[in-house]
Structure 1
Amino acid sequence: MRFSKLPDLRAAQAPDAHCIADARTSLSNSEFYSKVLMAAGLLAELGVQAGDVVAIMLPNQVEFVVAMFAAWRLGAAVTPLNPNLTVQEASHQLNDSRAKLLINLSGATVDGQVPALPAAALHGGVQYGAHYGAQPVDNPAALALLIYTSGTTGLPKGVMLDHANIEAMAAMSREAMEITSSDHCLLILPLFHVNGIVASILTPLSAGSRVTIRARFDIETFFADVERLRPTYFSAVPTIYALLNALPPHVQPDTSSLRYGICGAAPASAELLTSFEARYGFPLVEGYGLSEGTCASTINPLKGIRKAGTVGVPMVGQRIAIMDAAGRHLPAGETGEVLVQGPNVMRGYLGKPEETSKTIIDGWLHTGDLGRIDADGYLSIVGRLKEMIIRGGENIYPKEIEDALLASPSVLEAAVIGVPHETLGEIVIAYVADRPGHNTTLEELNEHCAERLTRYKRPAAIHVISSLPKNAVGKIDKLKLRALWKQQHA
């Protein structure tokens, strides 16, 4: 299904059915189609054509989705920008992507070079899209999304995803998550991230279902939205589920409409997954993926065994393998780098052929994640290749220690890093945040670890802080924790 044609198809099949809504706007299929036509007409008037890149720097709102589909209709690609980027950060993405146009709230240019259009102008008028009659561009090889990586190892790189990538990913997701036209997705993750776009927009809309957009996750209003809007699923990160699970016991919302919650973007502990489901009555289905793989590569099956603490089995159409440092594929139970293969694997990094050739080798995407596959084919992620801690010659995987800390009833969040040591090479340092109403002592945490971890894996130091730093998507930011440790030990 070509996404450039999806608004037309939905309008033809069910013109009056719900399509997409936010706090201010609700559009039927025919209204969404009309908005996309008007926006496409406006973009065409401004010179946007096939092969161009349109930058969208908007918060979560309907206009983001309208602009994206309008650009695709013209054969242009979209690069989403976090609205909270600094001028320097935004300028890098605009210049690197060679954006033709920026769509933001104000209509003011960010870098002084790329012309900007206010989102309100997308509603157009009779002089624009109302008379836009050209057929949508139909090209599976056309670039669809330029997703910029978080830049944890340097300047962010542009991940090139073409229409064949996003179509394959949406089809795999519909099958794996059993999405149908009767579903209703509640979007709470940021739309500048591939998860928000693919899991919560493209997958449900291509299935004929509806989407309600929220500006952000709000712990004060989330369950009220669930009770009022009656969504059937949503996607979130472990931090969000941990916060919801830490709400006072008297919070007992009606979650009967929810079939499941998708958990991804970072590993979650088995304890969190099982306790959350026991409390709220719907399962968390954990998966794994990355931007270079168009969002998702494995998922715990809805029908069949869900193994808490694993990220499930490969989606239909994809292959997963584990490789050692010598390039050999490893058998079940062995730990090594996770490799992914399938039609969802990116075209490459924009303007970086050497980095692309180091990341995609013989058709396999080298993820940089460490994992192992069990005898039943379930993948477990144990950490990042560059985060593995080597203490006195022993390999230590941070997630094992983080899971042990998270098993404490008083710990809300935990993160483990390795820091230099004169004789051992590296030692383990942990940072934790308490659950509301708890006041963890270091003695309790050390005793807790001693019961669960062999001596060399135990943290040399545990720091209790009010909250762990997060990046824009809600992942714990270990770069900031390393900077904090260096500051503390300057």
Structure 2
Amino acid sequence: MTSSAPDHFLKPMQPRGGGMLIADDRVAMDATAFAEQVAGLAATLSKAGVGKGDVVAAMLPNRIEIIIAIYAAWQLRAAFTPINPALTVNEAMHQLSDSAAKVVLVDEGSRAILAAVDIPKLDLDSWTGLSGDNSDIFPRQDDLALLIYTSGTTGKPKGVMLDHANIAAMTSSIRQALRLGPEDHSLLAMPLFHVNALIVSVLSPLVAGGSVRLLPGFDRATFWDNVRTSGATYFSGVPAMFILLSEQAGVIDAAPDLRFAICGAAPMPAPAIAAFETRYGFPILEGYGLTESTVGATLNPLDGPRRPGSVGKAMPDIEVRIIDEDCQPLPPGELGEVAIRGGNVMRGYLNQPAATAETVVDGWLRTGDMGQLDANGWLTLTGRKKDLIIRGGENIYPTEVEHALIATGLVSDAAVVGRHDPVMGEVPVAFIVAGESKELEELEALLPHMLAERLSRFKVPTAFHFITEMPRNPTGKIDKPALRARLDQALQQPVQANQK
């Protein structure tokens, strides 16, 4: 590996002759101010003992300090792991422990959540900064850059290791595909603990010499006004965002600077794409990727033709093929598992060599997603090998929710499946066999509250179906296709909870 620093690290640190480089709803910084803040935080982290090979964590909502912390960690040749601020203390503790984080950056909210956790904390609400200059220290291509946690098949989150070479490869591919340049301005509404937000909406425009504005989150009442007034040239979102925008009443005023929007994280129905583009007057580029591919793999082209219903073609310098159970390539039109190869494929799962070996085979990333390629390279996804539920772009693995249900002590058996939702894409629904001497009314009252103590809100089922016996297949496993069929037949009256 080369000893020189990756471009994605150097370019945002260089003065750009004035002008805003990055901003949130509290502060805007040019490149010089940003570099000073990075150096100051790097000095603070160094004083706290952070150095080469360490991990810096942050449990924060969208704010500019997350980006400062990423570059500060990198300046010390450390890695960065973002934590969803909506996680419970037990969920956050797993990530902190598994990553062996040296320090966690917090605000008032996360400080309270992590109060009993024995790990050094740096409260950014009271941090006054230090002067520092670590400009002679830069990461190498094979240094670990990001640890992004994603749920595994057992529901226990796994740390996806992305090094600087991964990020350099991915941002290069994105810049080529989207023709990003210094004139581009990204507007971010997605949460910064997602690789999509970090790579597509922050690092790629910064490497291209562009600028970024961070929003606290997506608010359909104000988002379009922010697009228009910010001068954004693009933004990235999940299907639920576009569907909610489509439902806005009144006349839609144009955003003259906007070139396109990117849709990912979950499939978006082709009619919904067409309806949105007709009303708003700019293209949605639907793409496909996953954390293990440093976010991207395929994308509908910026300059048509685009195919609603397809997630596009392989992005520059990335290969995509369909494989069978033996990892052998299948011909065009055949249904199989999607596999990805390129410099964007992760280094592996932290502390999980067996899972890594199963997932990356001869350089090909086995995604677990099913699909088919046509003769011209267009990819269409048809389903998932695993039972992952994607709710508004958030990944939910049923096993984790099922374990939480049984842990309440009110349930003797539980199964969670996804149900179609017109806005969120999918929502989790639970089938429950009640425990002994448990009345339905007791479950109705207690389950949602008890789950809220164990799970993030987006993971809590939106409905509970009470059944007397769990259907199982001949091998003894829960027959989830049969449960999905019961949903379609509406045999049970659901108790609504946490409907969003």
Class of the TM-score when normalised by the shorter of the 2 chains: 0.7 to 0.9
How much does 1:122 deviate?
A: 5.1
Which residue in the other structure is 1:189 paired with? Answer: 190
Which residue in the other structure is 2:398 paired with? Answer: none
- Secondary structure class of the residue paired with 1:18: coil
- Read off the aligned partner of 2:82 and give its amino acid letter: P
Match of 1:429 among 477, 484, 490: 484
Which residue in the other structure is 1:370 paired with? Answer: 370
Q: Summarize deviations over 1:331-356 as a string: whole Å, max 9, x none.
A: 11111111011111011100000111
Kept after mapping to 2: 8 A contact 1:427/1:460: no
How much does 1:113 deviate?
A: 1.9
The reply on whether 1:16 has 2:26 as its aligned counterpart is no
- Secondary structure class of the residue paired with 1:367: strand
The reply on whether 1:246 has 2:247 as its aligned counterpart is yes
> Using a 3 Å threshold, how does the CA distance of structure 1 residues 314 and 466 change in structure 2: closer, same or farther?
farther
Aligned 1:55-454 pairs, distance under 5 A = 55-106=57-108, 109-120=114-125, 123-124=128-129, 128=130, 130-151=131-152, 153-248=154-249, 250-387=250-387, 411-412=422-423, 415=426, 426-427=481-482, 429=484
Between 344-353 and 10-19, the greater mean CA deviation after superposition = 10-19
Kept after mapping to 2: 8 A contact 1:39/1:122: no
> Using a 3 Å threshold, how does the CA distance of structure 1 residues 51 and 223 change in structure 2: closer, same or farther?
same
- Structure 1 CA distance, aligned partners of 2:7 and 2:322? 38
> Using a 3 Å threshold, how does the CA distance of structure 1 residues 81 and 430 change in structure 2: closer, same or farther?
farther
How much does 1:10 deviate?
A: 4.1
Kept after mapping to 2: 8 A contact 1:417/1:429: no
Kept after mapping to 2: 8 A contact 1:145/1:162: yes
- Structure 2 CA distance, aligned partners of 1:286 and 1:195? 13
Where does structure 2 lack aligned partners over 5 or more consecutive residues? 389-419, 432-469
Kept after mapping to 2: 8 A contact 1:39/1:123: no
Q: Over the residues paired in the alignment, what is the CA RMSD in angstroms?
A: 2.8
- Structure 1 CA distance, aligned partners of 2:370 and 2:497? 26
How much does 1:328 deviate?
A: 2.8
How much does 1:431 deviate?
A: 11
- Secondary structure class of the residue paired with 1:376: coil
Please report the TM-score for the alignment, with normalisation by the length of structure 1. Answer: 0.79
Kept after mapping to 2: 8 A contact 1:415/1:431: no
Please report the TM-score for the alignment, with normalisation by the length of structure 2. Answer: 0.78
Percent identity of equivalent pairs: 42
- Structure 1 CA distance, aligned partners of 2:486 and 2:309? 21
- Read off the aligned partner of 1:136 and give its amino acid letter: I
The reply on whether 1:32 has 2:26 as its aligned counterpart is no
- Secondary structure class of the residue paired with 2:368: strand
- Read off the aligned partner of 2:386 and give its amino acid letter: K
- Structure 1 CA distance, aligned partners of 2:79 and 2:209? 23
> How many residues in Structure 1 have an aligned counterpart in Structure 2?
419
- Secondary structure class of the residue paired with 2:68: helix
How much does 1:254 deviate?
A: 2.1
> Using a 3 Å threshold, how does the CA distance of structure 1 residues 348 and 21 change in structure 2: closer, same or farther?
same
Kept after mapping to 2: 8 A contact 1:169/1:296: yes
> Using a 3 Å threshold, how does the CA distance of structure 1 residues 117 and 415 change in structure 2: closer, same or farther?
closer
- Structure 1 CA distance, aligned partners of 2:221 and 2:152? 31
- Structure 1 CA distance, aligned partners of 2:61 and 2:183? 27
- Structure 2 CA distance, aligned partners of 1:187 and 1:9? 20
Kept after mapping to 2: 8 A contact 1:246/1:412: no
- Read off the aligned partner of 1:173 and give its amino acid letter: I
Where does structure 1 lack aligned partners over 5 or more consecutive residues? 389-404, 433-458, 471-490
> Using a 3 Å threshold, how does the CA distance of structure 1 residues 236 and 468 change in structure 2: closer, same or farther?
farther
Q: Summarize deviations over 1:391-427 as a string: whole Å, max 9, x none.
A: xxxxxxxxxxxxxx89xxxx54554999986799634
